[in-house]
Structure 1
Amino acid sequence: MKVYHQIWAILMLYPVFSGVCRGSEYDVDYVQYAEVGDNVTLVCPGEFPSNDELHGVKWHRGKFDQILEYSKSSQRLKYIGSSDKYIVAEKPTQKISVLNVSKEYEGIYTCEVTKYLDLNNPTIYVPKSSKIKLRLVELPRNPPIITGVRPRYIIGEEVKAECLSEVSKPQSTIEWWINDAAVSPDMVTNRTTFHSTLRFNVSEHHLHGYEQDDMILKCSVKIKDGHKEVYWKTSIEEVKVSLHPSHPSIRGYLPAMFSGLASATTGPNLLTFLGLQCVVLATTSFALSVF
């Protein structure tokens, strides 16, 4: 039995995606993901004014908590309150870094940029605000684990496989695959966010698409935040399938039988050969399928 762990897609801890996402407080321009303890860079979205056009930049956390201010006229970068303990920025503060992220730093960050409307009249300037949601996630540290699978099965036998994953935030979903096909929902029981059971009887169609007598069981754990998929890991179990205990493989037995037919001569020898084949088929109690 071979066991594989495949990482199809792993959380990019700092993805930025366009469009408007629903924040818990108000609409935001994008969502930034991080794990506790990370250093995260927040970038003021959109087109940033040129140095000539820029008047100033302010950053807020939440609705009213101002944490940073930059004024072009004074060339001063000012930290508000204790924000200098966890915020790092460089002039002109188009982006800031939140250090050693913890739960208290999660939430909405607002970047307010003001630029001169008319370069010939520096007393007139307009503000533009953009919002970023910093969201903490707790990801499984290890791939899912598949248990209860034997190295070999016979056609008709029941497979009962368990898939276990670590608890995560947001909650994960577990999906099963046999070879490259998603399983039917009625084959899955005990479904939770960290545990799932797959039960089915092995049949010949489970082997389609593979040259050997292999059946591939896959357990995938996915984590989504809204419509955004932020994490995906898959574990794989490979098992062998036989028609009967006395025949180690399907593809090893059937070709041998047809090879005998091709080499048989006409007359009594052929009839004897065919009769022996019928006896074999009867005693092994399986139906020959042509595929």
Structure 2
Amino acid sequence: MHNSTENQVVLSSVQLSTTGVYRCEVSGEAPSFQTVTEHGHMMVVALPEEGPRITGGKPRYQIGDTVRVNCTSGRSKPAALLNWFINGEQADPSFLRGPETIITGREGLETSILGLEFTVKQKHFRKGDMKLKCSATIATIYWRSNEESVEGERPIRASVLESRGTVAPAGSRADRVQAAGSHTTFFPRASLIALCCFVGLVLSLR
């Protein structure tokens, strides 16, 4: 307090324990010695080391799915105030689960957790995506947020498969295998005509 004056008090190396009510007193001179006092509350804040974290989400959702996610703000004093937003709009209070505060350490630092749970509807998707954002605030000196974008499950279109038969070229190995395993004999058309002519010639000679 060596830099303090009669008009102001300078505190250095403050800690959480420095939080409290501070009073200023002014006394008049003799003979009245009138005294006037004023007081004010000073709070020392320990801020989170990082912004809020979103956990429990999936990369894709489809209509009818249930979203269950948590927003967690790191240790601070006092606890951070958490809020959820869906596509930039504050989430319906009925979707919120909590908040929950966990106090740890000798200094009593507080971890804030706020859940979000709702059933996905068509209105929650904008251009196929849904944005979930969580913000953390402490008084007017701290504001941080985290946002995740998830995709809507797009329907899978059935593929149209084209069936194509494979025809083996004439004289190919497939033809030879089929011919070898068959008991039916095939004659070319020209051979049949010649055979018929030959039979007719023999009959006429008789």
Category of TM-score, reference length = shorter chain: 0.5 to 0.7
Partner of 1:111: 24
The alpha-carbon deviation at position 243 of structure 1 amounts to 4.6
- For 2:22 and 2:11, locate their aligned partners in 1 and report how far apart those are by CA, in whole Å: 11
Of residues 99, 114, 132, the one that matches 1:196 is 114
Q: Please report the TM-score for the alignment, with normalisation by the length of structure 2.
A: 0.58
Residue identity matched to 1:191: P
Report 1:209-220 matches (<5 A): 210=126, 212-220=127-135
Gaps of 5+ in 2: 102-111, 159-206
Partner of 1:179: 87
Answer yes or no: is the 8 Å Cα contact 1:154–1:245 preserved in 2: no
Percent identity among equivalent residues? 30
Partner of 1:244: 155
- For 1:99 and 1:196, locate their aligned partners in 2 and report how far apart those are by CA, in whole Å: 35
The alpha-carbon deviation at position 162 of structure 1 amounts to 2.0
Report 1:141-160 matches (<5 A): 141-160=49-68
Partner of 1:88: 2
The CA RMSD over aligned residues, in Å, is: 3.0
The alpha-carbon deviation at position 235 of structure 1 amounts to 1.0
Equivalences, count: 148
Higher strand share: 1
- For 1:183 and 1:242, locate their aligned partners in 2 and report how far apart those are by CA, in whole Å: 22
Report 1:1-291 matches (<5 A): 87-91=1-5, 93-114=6-27, 126-189=34-97, 191-193=99-101, 194-207=112-125, 210=126, 212-224=127-139, 229-246=140-157
The alpha-carbon deviation at position 95 of structure 1 amounts to 1.2
Q: CA 1:213 to 1:164, structure 2 compared with 1: closer, same or farther past 3 Å?
A: same
Residue identity matched to 1:112: E
Q: CA 1:246 to 1:95, structure 2 compared with 1: closer, same or farther past 3 Å?
A: farther
- For 2:156 and 2:38, locate their aligned partners in 1 and report how far apart those are by CA, in whole Å: 67
Residue identity matched to 1:232: W
Partner of 1:60: none
Gaps of 5+ in 1: 1-86, 117-121, 248-291
1:185-216 CA-to-partner distances (Å, cap 9, x unmatched) read 33233531322322222222113xx5x32211
